[in-house]
Amino acid sequence: MWFHSKIKYGVQDALGKWKTYSEQFLHDAITYAEVEQQLAEFLQGRVSDYEYTITKISFDAVYDTFIQGSFYKVTFEEKTTNDAGADKITVKAHLVAAADVTDAERRATDYMKNWITDTTIIGSDRTKILGVWHPKSEDWKNDFKERMLRLAEVGQESNDSNQTTLFNRDGTVKKPGDSNQDTDAPANEESDFSKWTKSAEGTLTKKAKGKKITFLKKNGEPVEA
């Protein structure tokens, strides 16, 4: 299941002026609480104080890693025929990392070239998604690492942050059991979080201040710890 997160945070420049940044990410997860935990993990070391929202989103496929381009939403029609000979057209969407719109459509066409159904691309749009976090894929985590390092290099990081928590000193993504000696907070540190608010559409919003969180779950939803 895919979730879409949006974060907002401020960075103070050398003259004391604040600039606000907004970033969007795609998450492979099951619950809102899992997405929140992912945010706390991969933002730690780059962004220390942020507001964010989480919503569910639908993509039929997401590809490819190591392209170093933007993410494009490629929408297409898939035509199938039932046993009675009636045609059915379904509109679907893929999220494709590519250099530009033309490259995104080329990659999507190549991805679907061996399908037995007929497909027709009807639209391609560049999204504001900056990275895909897939916790069970080392390729996607390494791709995410590269994208986050580039954001830090252009100044999109909190003034008191450093890119050490998610990654080892050699640049590889940390795995469970790796030493926490690079972090700037103890593993059991808890944070001060405001209450959740939930819209009619199911969007969860919360402000995070700190670097760790204790989770409680009720009916699959996160509740205040």
Same domain, 98 and 184: no
Query: 3-state class of 5 per DSSP?
Result: strand
φ, ψ of residue 147 in degrees (nearest 5): -70, -40
Q: Tens digit of pLDDT for each residue in 97-111? A: 999 999 999 999 999
Using alpha carbons, select from 25, 43, 23, 27 the residue that is nearest to residue 35.
27
| Residue 24 confidence (pLDDT) above 60 | yes
Whether residue 203 lies inside any domain: the answer is yes
Whether residue 221 lies inside any domain: the answer is no
| Number of domains observed in the structure of the chain | 2
Q: Which of 126, 150, 171 is the last residue before a domain boundary?
A: 126
Same domain, 95 and 149: no
Q: Are strands 49-57 and 192-193 parallel, antiparallel or unpaired?
A: unpaired
Whether residue 216 lies inside any domain: the answer is no
Q: Which of 126, 141, 164 is the last residue before a domain boundary?
A: 126
Using alpha carbons, select from 50, 26, 22, 21 the residue that is nearest to residue 38.
26
**Residue 31: exposure state from Cβ atoms within 10 A (0-12, 13-18, ≥19):** middle
Q: Which of 111, 126, 141 is the last residue before a domain boundary?
A: 126
Same domain, 18 and 97: no
Place of tokens 């405001």: 194
Q: Tens digit of pLDDT for each residue in 154-190? A: 888 876 654 434 455 444 555 444 544 433 333 333 3
Note the pLDDT of residue 184: 34
Separation of alpha carbons 159 and 213, rounded Å: 21
Distant-in-sequence, close-in-space partners of 74: CB < 8 Å, separation ≥ 6: 93, 94, 95, 96, 104, 105, 108, 121, 123, 124
Find how far residue 193's CA is from the centre of its chain. Answer: 21
- Provide the residue range defining the domain that includes 24: 2-59+129-211
Span 138-151, mean pLDDT? 92
Separation of alpha carbons 107 and 164, rounded Å: 33
Whether residue 106 lies inside any domain: the answer is yes
Same domain, 67 and 178: no
Whether residue 223 lies inside any domain: the answer is no
| Residue 201 confidence (pLDDT) above 90 | no
Same domain, 100 and 110: yes
pTM: 0.71
Same domain, 55 and 133: yes
Note the pLDDT of residue 174: 52
Separation of alpha carbons 221 and 202, rounded Å: 11
Q: Tens digit of pLDDT for each residue in 28-82? A: 999 999 999 999 999 988 898 899 999 999 999 999 988 878 999 999 999 998 8
Span 123-129, mean pLDDT? 97
Whether residue 225 lies inside any domain: the answer is no
Same domain, 53 and 144: yes
Q: Are strands 87-98 and 70-81 parallel, antiparallel or unpaired?
A: antiparallel
Same domain, 200 and 133: yes
Same domain, 155 and 177: yes
Same domain, 203 and 138: yes
Whether residue 217 lies inside any domain: the answer is no
Same domain, 190 and 90: no
Same domain, 25 and 75: no
Query: Which helix or strand (DSSP H or E) is residue 130 part of?
Result: strand 129-133
Whether residue 224 lies inside any domain: the answer is no
* Cβ pair 204, 222 in contact under 8 A: yes
